A = this chain, B = another copy of it.
Amino acid sequence: MPTAKVLIDGHWISSEGAATFHAMNPRTGETLEEKFPVSPWFEVDKALHSADRAFQECRAWPGERFAAFLERYAERIEARAEDLIAAAHAETALPVKPRLADAELPRTVSQLKLAAHWAREGSWMRPTIDGKLNIRSTLAPIGPVAVFGPNNFPFAFNSIAGGDFAAAVAAGNPVIAKGHSSHPRTTQLFAEEAQAAAEETHMPSGFVQLIYRTSHEDGAQLVSHPLLGAIGYTGGRHAGLYLKSSADAVGKPIYLELSSVNPVVFLPGALAERGEALATEYAASCLMGSGQFCTNPGVVFLISDSTADQFVANVVKSFTANTPQPMLGPGVQRSFLSGVETLSSLGAKLLCGGSAGPNPCTCENTLLQVSGQQFVANAAGFQTEIFGNGALFVMCENLSEISACLKALEGNLTGAIYSATSSTEDEAAYTQLAGILRQKVGRLLNDKMPTGVAVSPAMNHGGPFPATGHPGFTAVGLPASITRFAALHCFDNVRDDRLPPALQNQNPLGLLRLQNGEWTRDPLTLQ
């Protein structure tokens, strides 16, 4: 079987890279037949120059053009659903139903359509006009965006179909996708549809491009290249920080989503009120998709008493009763087991699981436990992420010990607090803990598990470092996610017919603008 082709400058071409790799089927442990290339630098460089040409061609196009592409692409994905689902199932072992067919594919299609909507709506540009001084500014596309997708969402975060892709395109930027090595065939299928949609909607050649893998050095060169505008990265912390340091050194905006343990606090009133139901809810959230979610609730804080003990026992029962599902690959399994090993070596007590499962790429559902005192004494160590179907329970003496634990947390994507429907004690505890947690997380939840990341304008899939690289931006939630891939363009004393439509006196796009200090859709009346 010949090596798969890369998509560069509008054409599927044979890579000249000597090195190749295969994906594997995590369910069977078998290596998949197709061979994918590791692109050498000159291919990446070619993609960069093509993306730059594409950008020069389309950087002043109206949102409508990008919306048309996104919508056509969404339609094509729907038509190709069967192939995509089969490929993703083979490469990731994620269940066809409900996960891939009923949840992730529709979500991906919907994200692209929403991105089209907001590209047209245009308020992400925040046009601002000072009529008296004739100074105007707007957010504008930043230039070609490199997107590095993660292993755990072969569709919704795919480098050439997921949230970062949709946001980068909605802003008007070409995308160079670096596929994740664990699902190259899935990514290739997307790229086929993206390229076909790009042709149908007359996008510039090189508007969407795909390479499957590069060396680490070439990845660093890509993210720091003068022709690149910005980078979206979702994945492991080590590789992410390596790319970040390269991009930072040349002031290139890089948006990272790294790791997160997603603390959850169950207050005593909540456990007293509905402890059994909460144990079920927690176990379901933590084990869903083998726990391979960025927002998996990995560290739980409880005040140690008999109700809490009962809660823990119930969770252990659920964990033990559930059959572990395959993980995304042997690397995930290895990393999980090594994380469990780290926590154990630091003194965490194993409540259940802890070992590899009977099938390929599986781990036993795993729970570990430490005291609040232990946690505070080695907070960095006990925040080691065990990405997968496992969690750490932290049993605290009292509320102030939970406070101390929360203060010792790093930045996280989410944090949740469960409290009683009505309880003065829980309410006081909530106020105290929420004040601390609010500064540590991007999304604060009440009485809800963090694993559902709704594609809502109000979503923040972000948070303080090291959960992400910048706490002011979100990777999910349109239109906010679009602004990551924009630069602020100011026009000072520029003649009206030379201005982008968003800033022209007549407001031909009908945008909401901050005009002479007021938010309005009215055209600008010159005095």
Contact = CB atoms under 8 A, between A and B. Distances in A.
B253 A470 contact: yes
A498 B446 contact: yes
A472 B492 contact: no
Contact of A517 (B438, B447, B457, B489): B457
Nearest to A517: B457
Given A248-B245, A251-B469, A130 B456 contact: yes
A509 B483 CA distance: 25
A464 interface: yes
A480 to B, nearest CB: 7
A297 to B, nearest CB: 13
Contacts of A59: 439
A445 interface: yes
Contact of A488 (B245, B460, B519): B460
Nearest to A462: B488
Contacts of A123: 514, 519
Contacts of A473: 488
Interface in A470-498: 470-474, 477, 479-480, 483-484, 486-495, 498
A232 to B, nearest CB: 14
Interface string A441-461: 011111110100010111110
A457 B213 CA distance: 44
B248 A492 contact: no
A435 interface: yes
Nearest to A419: B495
Which among A137, A435, A443, A470 has the greatest number of chain B C-beta atoms within 10 A? A137
A10 interface: no
Given A133-B456, A133-B458, A490 B444 contact: yes
A218 B113 CA distance: 49
A381 B278 CA distance: 65
Interface in A125-149: 126, 128-130, 133, 135-137, 139, 142-143
Contact of A442 (B447, B450, B489, B498): B489
Given A251-B466, A472-B488, A519 B517 contact: no
Given A128-B480, A490-B442, A459 B135 contact: yes
Which among A251, A443, A458 has the greatest number of chain B C-beta atoms within 10 A? A458
A434 interface: yes
Given A133-B456, A253-B470, 13 more contacts: A59-B439, A123-B514, A126-B480, A128-B480, A135-B458, A135-B459, A244-B248, A251-B469, A444-B494, A446-B493, A446-B498, A459-B490, A480-B488
Interface of A: 56, 59, 123, 126, 128-130, 133, 135-137, 139, 142-143, 244-245, 248-253, 411, 414, 430, 434-435, 438-439, 442-448, 450, 454, 456-460, 462, 464-466, 468-474, 477, 479-480, 483-484, 486-495, 498, 512, 514, 517, 519
9 contacts: A128-B477, A135-B458, A137-B460, A251-B469, A438-B489, A444-B494, A446-B491, A472-B483, A472-B488
